Amino acid sequence: MSEQRNTPDFSAASVLVIGDVMLDRNWQGDTQRISPEAPVPVVNISRQEARAGGAANVAMNLAALGAKVALCGLVGDDEAGGQLRAIIRQQGITDLMKNCPADTITKLRVLSRHQQLMRLDFEAKDYARYAELLAAPFEKAVDEADVVVFSDYGKGALADVSRLIAKAKQAGKLVLLDPKGSDYARYRGADIITPNRSELALATGNADEAHLLANTRRLLDDCGIQAVLLTLSEKGMRYVAAQTEHYLAAQAREVYDVTGAGDTVIATLAAALAIKTPLPQALEYANAAAGVVVGKLGTSTLSPEELRAALEPPRARSHGVVDKESLKRLIARARTRGQKIVMTNGCFDILHAGHVTYLAEAKALGDRLIVAVNTDESVRRLKGESRPANNLHSRAAVLAALQSVDWVVVFEEDTPAQLIEELMPDILVKGGDNRVEDIPGAQAVLAKGGEVKIMSYVDGFSTTKTLSKYQKEQ
């Protein structure tokens, strides 16, 4: 009942990632006072987590999409390096990282209430001295890859990037590269580079929007690069090649954190191109992926299900009649944004003011409202052969048109208990004089830590009375 776009099976993709790997550590806690020692907040740390960062985050994004991934990078023979190796191996990524005498690059972020208060960086300045250690594992793995991704964070692992790109091109591989610094001539031979606006301005010497296209094409020509995919944060993306240009509008509704978004863009693009996806469609995938991860906190990945949901038409993502499997994906996407899911159900045979008020009040309890509707057959079993007065298509369409209703889903059983258990809303709502213990699905929701609310219908409205009055008048 909903329009849906399929995403490909990325398991056929094989990608080699090489670049600056790092460990991202997030310490989170509540802040309620200022330190008596200095004018700084006191954070009571309650949660610590570690994630793969830099080139390792690119690899994690590829693995999350289902691609086969190998990762080259430099790590120290230290606790952080061991933790980073454990993280990537757990995701099935082939570990081609090499130990070096320098410490593993580590970024420690202190956060409170989803706000970053401070970042502490632990890194040496001499990683370039050890870049030659990556040549052997790279040359051994490049033949097995469909696409090679270079992730340059300017830390030194890609000091020999020109030679490595030449090796990849000699092997006939497509090369994608996330650049750093102002010298793009060292990236000669790359097929697509993915700078953001400030990075491109540094390389071209000019951030003027009016001259962006001309400056970008001049850069490509001067540096021997085939194309640029310019990421523009909340303004979307712009693909520029010698003879073509394509703009993609941003899809994110709320931007919480752009950390690692560029990693997700290049990973999704690489996975798509590795399985021969046409370039326009691959760009669309990358843009949709960016719209998902900027709604998450810190370096993040996305699943194929989240990408599929992001590719659905805007109305299907936010409002309308959906099937159960599509709804599961939409719920998962909503929850990644911290949204609370409310659900109710009924026949809704003749929609009246009582229903409208009830649904508006239900929606006010959370962020997304699901209305589960009985099929015509189940209505007849419950209400008699003369019902429903309006068929399923009409009832669902009218409900979906209400501003308070996000998604309408159909169930065939006499009760929605099974559907509720599968969708597991945060709040289950029912109207009238029901008791919680008698509401189908209520116990399952409560067992998962959810809530069950009983709300009163507006007096003076009844579908049965309305139909009875109409029949008498006839």
Q: Which residue has the tokens 């994608």?
A: 176
Residue 132 has pLDDT above 50, yes or no: yes
Tokens found for residue 268:
């999704």
Summarize pLDDT for 190-235 with one digit per residue, the tens: 999 999 888 888 888 876 676 778 888 999 999 999 999 998 876 7
pLDDT class of 451 with cuts at 50, 70, 90: very high
Q: Which residue has the tokens 């010497």?
A: 205
Annotated binding site: 196-199
Q: Per the residue annotation, which of 20, 146, 263, 426 is the catalytic one?
A: 263
DSSP 196: B
Length of the chain: 474
Q: Return the CATH superfamily for domain 14-311.
A: Ribokinase (3.40.1190.20)
Annotated binding site for ATP: 196-199
* β-pairing verdict for 192-193 and 74-76: unpaired
Helix, coil or strand: residue 351: coil
Q: Return the CATH superfamily for domain 320-471.
A: HUPs (3.40.50.620)
Tokens found for residue 165:
């790109």
- Report d(CA 150, CA 233) in Å as an integer: 21
48: burial class by Cβ within 10 Å (0-12, 13-18, 19+)? exposed
Closest CA to 166 of 145, 141, 190: 190
Report field, pTM of the whole predicted structure over 0.75:
no
Domain borders along the chain are 14-311, 320-471
318 to 326, 367, 405: CA distances (angstroms) = 12, 11, 10
Compute the chain's Rg from CA coordinates. Answer: 27
- Report d(CA 431, CA 57) in Å as an integer: 47
Q: Is 263 a catalytic residue?
A: yes
Summarize pLDDT for 303-335 with one digit per residue, the tens: 777 777 677 655 555 568 888 888 898 898 788
Q: What is the percent of the chain where pLDDT is above 90?
A: 57
Residue 126: CB atoms within 10 A of its CB come to 11
In the Cβ-directed half-sphere of 149, how many Cα atoms lie within 13 Å? 37
